[in-house]
A and B are shown apart, each in its own frame.
Chain A
């Protein structure tokens, strides 16, 4: 049982939870994640550890409420509990000891970039973070990243910082030269765009992948991704991979597997929480929402 100590809204749909997790706080390294399970009936959700406090025995998780399960999680109030937190899982980020690094964070991916930037600064690596969001209120963790080095903020609508996507700022930064490595975490299209920019320049680029996952220990194979033509499991072989080797199209595709169910679950969550539903109707709706689209053929 883990207590929520802080519940802070960072952007319109991104929340930071600080929870007690003594052991994980002690040993976690940048790039690692935990599996969070709110309680009976809930999904197991993989979440990157955004920050932690060894002494206090706490970790912080930054969560984008996009589906029913994440919406439930960000609603746990301070003092509330999360039944299960398992980890730290995945391989730690392989970090350089010197040189100049660009950390690119899009939306909630900025939270994954933060521990990397922190550790890089700690190692004496020059860090520039490029972070972005739709508009001003969607840009998160800027002060935390400022503590690690220069920060370039971008907004799609130009309401804050530089107008446009993070990739445009990245393009300019790369043009200046002298960049040894890029870490990019965000929506899959963003990571793909970053990898496409750095590939011709031969700049090493690491991305953190977020495929669908159940156990987080290699057991289910649901998180399989194709890296250089070979199957890898994001949970044990990753979650970070060489951005130039990732089959992003497949990742985008596999992430859409349960979209109709997610939509249904979210609508049902909003529609009724107290009225008794007709079990048969629910069962039929769930079955419809999870019928493979290939069934039509």
Chain B
């Protein structure tokens, strides 16, 4: 729908004049159709690394905000892993009070510019939005992104008063600067802790900088989020590998509390012949080269192969990021090979849809059985077998089973393996007293505390590969629990009820 067709008068474009409008009736709000996120044209964007989603204009954002019905029982908040007070920031936005919207959002969410871009809103807040029952949900993610970007551009801060970073005289070490670590750092700094983040790489951000590509999450935005944290007093020590540079017991001895958020760790390979041929990457390596090391830019010293015909194995967001990256690096053909069907695709619908628009080919119900190579051991293709879905497995998803005699070859010169990760023992190996499960993930109680008192953990190293927002939820929860552990409330302040 274009703006001129719109049945409801547009809100005033000038945010400076915050004049309360007569509120629309529920019926009027229901008439407003969801505002579409403007996107870069698919053909153009498949050849560049600029962001795909362009963001809403202020007019469009305020119009979309009018669609919120301000439910007495806002299910959207329950749908959000970090419990953002969604109706509140939307109400401010609707009224044109951008600063109020920003303050509200930043109170609840440490990385709103990030979550506004990469959260699977369609399975969280937007899924339980009342409006989704009869039509399309409020575009909560798009509104979050608008408000977050406005806050960044206008240097707007959180509404909550920040304590002095060392007000409590207590120190916390956070291991890993990904979404869980950054969120916990913000929550703890806000409450007056002296927080130091230890990061193994030379730059902070974790998966936000090495994993998620520029076209989905611009790196200057991540940097701005990190900068905001540093300005609030959080210290970041780069090049510090816990388990190597320092051990966990050493950190525990030096800090009052420790939060471990080291992420997923080791790439899983397919365990098929030919996997070590030249031209076979793990998604971790491929994306790290392109994103963190900047190999998408020809001036970078770090090389990455520019496959002409690329096959990406896997169906998650990492697979989508890899295949769309390959396309942008000039691949004439870029193919997803996934062993289940389109309904089972773990990637966000939006990512798969964007990939399709950009010309990515999807080979569903297909599993690789061998990587083929030439006499110089360069990849020349991948041998696959068709699959059929059988009975549900432990995960509840129908187990794919090979169809006999259905083998076929896909010619390609590069293969990216994006079938998941497993836990990295680097840190846990230095702390025998830290309880881990049989997969090597750290065991925690419901508050995120590990078997070592005062040591908390969250994100992928606890739950296995998951999403940015779930990691952030863990970071927030663990920060609260650590605060309660390190600074128990005075008896007088205990609720009397």
Contact = CB atoms under 8 A, between A and B. Distances in A.
Given A84-B239, A221-B267, A291-B305, 10 more contacts: A23-B246, A72-B301, A86-B201, A86-B240, A217-B426, A236-B426, A257-B305, A262-B303, A286-B303, A292-B278
A72 B300 CA distance: 13
Nearest to B275: A231
A85 interface: yes
Contacts of B200: 86, 215, 217
A224 interface: yes
Contact of B293 (A27, A43, A216): A43
Contacts of A214: 285, 288-289, 293, 302
B interface, how many residues as a size bin? 35 or more
A68 interface: yes
B413 interface: yes
B299 interface: yes
B288 A294 contact: no
A253 interface: yes
B284 A290 contact: no
Nearest to A260: B303
Interface in B2-60: none
Given A23-B245, A43-B293, A88-B244, A293 B378 contact: yes
Interface residues of A, number: 56
Interface string A227-245: 0000101001000000000
A24 B245 contact: yes
Contacts of B275: 231
B438 interface: no
A51 B107 CA distance: 50
Nearest to B379: A294
A82 to B, nearest CB: 11
B298 interface: yes
Interface in B274-321: 275-279, 281-282, 284-285, 288-289, 293-294, 298-309
B378 A83 contact: no
A72 to B, nearest CB: 8
A226 B424 CA distance: 19
Interface string B381-411: 0000000000000000000000000000001
Interface of A: 23-24, 27, 35, 37, 41-44, 68-69, 72, 83-89, 214-222, 224, 226, 231, 233, 236, 250, 253-254, 256-258, 261-262, 265, 279, 282-283, 285-287, 289-295, 297
B376 interface: yes
Given A86-B245, A87-B245, A291-B305, A221 B282 contact: yes
A285 B426 CA distance: 39
Given A43-B302, A44-B202, A258-B303, A222 B308 contact: no
B279 A279 contact: no
A275 to B, nearest CB: 14
Interface of B: 200-202, 238-241, 244-246, 265-267, 269, 275-279, 281-282, 284-285, 288-289, 293-294, 298-309, 329-330, 373-374, 376-380, 411, 413-414, 424-426
Contact of A295 (B269, B308, B424): B308
B239 A86 contact: yes
Contact of B288 (A41, A219, A297): A219
A84 to B, nearest CB: 4
A287 B47 CA distance: 13
Residue among B201, B265, B289, B414 with the highest chain A CB neighbour number at 10 A: B201
Contacts of A294: 277-279, 373-374, 378-380, 413-414
B98 to A, nearest CB: 33
B301 A86 contact: no
A83 B304 CA distance: 22
Contacts of B376: 253, 293
B306 A290 contact: yes
Contacts of A220: 267, 282, 284-285, 288
Contact of B238 (A43, A84, A290): A84
Contacts of A84: 202, 238-239
A282 B238 contact: no
Residue among A42, A68, A297 with the highest chain B CB neighbour number at 10 A: A297
A214 B265 CA distance: 14
Nearest to B263: A219
B301 A219 contact: no
A287 B241 CA distance: 33
23 contacts: A27-B245, A86-B200, A86-B240, A87-B244, A89-B241, A214-B293, A217-B426, A218-B266, A219-B267, A219-B284, A224-B276, A231-B275, A253-B376, A256-B278, A265-B303, A290-B303, A290-B305, A291-B413, A292-B306, A294-B278, A294-B380, A295-B307, A297-B380
B282 A43 contact: no
Given A83-B202, A261-B303, A286 B298 contact: yes
Nearest to B304: A290
Nearest to A247: B276
A89 B424 contact: no
A225 B97 CA distance: 58
Contacts of B304: 290
B286 to A, nearest CB: 9
A271 B379 CA distance: 32
A255 to B, nearest CB: 10
Contact of B202 (A86, A218, A293): A86
Contacts of A85: 239
A291 B330 CA distance: 10
Contacts of B302: 43-44, 214
Contacts of A218: 265-266, 424, 426
Contacts of A226: 276
A297 B289 CA distance: 25
Contacts of B329: 287
A88 B245 contact: yes
Nearest to A269: B301
A233 B424 CA distance: 12
A29 B294 CA distance: 32
B306 A287 contact: yes
B74 to A, nearest CB: 39
Nearest to A2: B239
Contacts of B299: 41, 282
B279 A292 contact: yes
Contacts of A69: 301
Contacts of B306: 286-287, 290-292
A42 to B, nearest CB: 5
Given A217-B426, A219-B265, A257 B244 contact: no
A221 B330 CA distance: 24
